Chain A
Amino acid sequence: METMPAPSIVFESAGVSVPDEDAQRRGLPDAARDLLHPLTLTLTERRIAVIGANGSGKSTLLKLINGLARPSTGRVLVDGACTVRDTGRVRRTVGFLFTDPLAQLVMPVVVEDVELSLRARVRDRAERRAHALEVLARLGIERLAERSVYDLSGGERQLAALATVLAAGQRILVADEPTTLLDLRNDALLRRTLDGLEQQVVYATHDLAFAAEADRALVVEDGRIVFDGAASDAVDAYRHLALEGV
């Protein structure tokens, strides 16, 4: 399935911190709290899972790749492009799938939303519509083209959101807990679809079976990468970490 060369995502001492309001109230005006401690790593594998507890820093790590979060220290490079200086270029390389697809879908009808992703590249309306329908067909959801995004099931909505990302033609897909809101059937459908993509996919998940399918997995705990390696080992490490003392 790997027809594209794997792009590289490089974290160079990249960390994210925010003002620590509690400490600032105690008279430390410059106090900051690390959401993600500075980390250095290179991601080139085709499927990379990120696992960890709620609030551990998974989403912050993912948002750094697309430029949605800016590093307070260091930098993140995607195929050599800095996510802060070359944001436009980075976003043409990295698509982002949110947990809640309704936050992502802007237009009321599925095909129109896919067309929105194409507006910048394809100015002709008929050509844009044809291209959008082609993307939907590729995902096997052309039947949803004229449906209201509000009338779709959770799984259909997430697939529609995925279509809007794929229409833009990015080589990397970042997905933040894409199956969290889905039932068993839709969960399986989305996972199968993601697995069939030629794009490099970096995804956060609480589903350890889903995480175990990755080529590499990172375990995030309190803003630090505490394990980085084979997915099955990462799942064991996380299970041990999460259930310790329970």
Chain B
Amino acid sequence: MRARADRFGLFVPGSSPIHRAPLWAKYLAVLAIGAAALVWRIAPVAVGLTALTVLLYALAGRHVLSRWAWPLKHLWWMFAILGVHQWWLAGGGLAGLWHAVGIVGSMLAALQAARLLLLSTEQADLLDGLARALAPLRRLGVDADAVTLALHVMLRSIPALAGAAGDVTDAATARGLRRNPLVLAGPVVVSAVGYAHRTADALAARGLMDRDDDAA
């Protein structure tokens, strides 16, 4: 799997107000945008929230702003499949289009908010912060470190999937095949399963999935 699709959520050093904001405030902002996107999945709200993320990226500096379009450039096929599917579910036509814009736009806004958190915060700070926040749940049997690691691996898989899509697209183009998202989806899924296996092996080999009772 290529390493090109790397800019999804790599920390961009800076001293902007967004960078300096406390971690809890950033999480709260992501939560608020995500909740709004989830509750009002309509086109005007989705477009408004997406515009808000552009504004926040601009506040974080031009290096961060220049990365805003990354998901559209590398994950266009995923948004295209989702959009067509939602349009079709809503019965097509203009009403279907508005419905699709509402759903896909909401997802994009939530995604961009989460990316801004990653772009403006060192990952080690994110892991430590999340582990601290989840620590009280240990009493309920929740392994905070395991949850934190799982979330991190999930985020890491997004650029990897985009990389897989790029590989498959290039392979299809090299063979003179058209870049049909539906045709490309199969090989991308197969590649994603292989990636998941390799990641699981790597985590297991590093002992990152061993729990304390096992390690004792």
Contacts and interface: CB of A to CB of B under 8 A. Distances in A.
B41 to A, nearest CB: 31
Contacts of B201: 68, 98, 103
Contact of B214 (A88, A96, A100, A151): A88
A239 to B, nearest CB: 31
A81 to B, nearest CB: 12
B10 A89 contact: no
A109 B125 CA distance: 13
B3 A88 contact: no
Contact of B156 (A68, A89, A98, A106): A106
Contacts of B195: 103
B97 to A, nearest CB: 36
Given A88-B216, A96-B205, A164-B206, A148 B10 contact: yes
Given A98-B205, A102-B1, A168-B206, A88 B6 contact: no
A231 to B, nearest CB: 25
A91 B145 contact: no
A106 B210 contact: no
Interface stretch (A23-31, A72-80, A110-118): A110-118
A182 to B, nearest CB: 15
Place the interface of chain B in its size category: 20 to 34
Interface string B135-159: 0000000000100000011001000
Contacts, number: 88
A112 B202 contact: no
Nearest to A146: B13
Size range of the interface on A?
20 to 34
Contacts of A100: 198
Interface in B78-123: 122-123
A33 interface: no
A47 to B, nearest CB: 20
B207 interface: yes
B11 A109 contact: yes
Contacts of A129: 124
Given A125-B128, A150-B6, A104 B215 contact: no
Interface in A117-163: 117, 119-120, 125, 129, 148-151
Contacts of A149: 3
A98 B201 CA distance: 9
A44 interface: no
A66 B210 CA distance: 13
Nearest to A94: B205
Interface of B: 1, 3-4, 6, 9-11, 122-124, 127-128, 145, 152-153, 156, 195, 198-199, 201-208, 210-211, 214-216
Given A106-B199, A108-B11, A116-B127, 6 more contacts: A67-B204, A68-B201, A68-B205, A109-B123, A150-B4, A165-B206
17 contacts: A66-B205, A88-B216, A91-B210, A96-B205, A104-B205, A106-B208, A107-B124, A107-B152, A109-B10, A112-B124, A116-B208, A120-B215, A129-B124, A148-B10, A150-B4, A151-B6, A168-B207
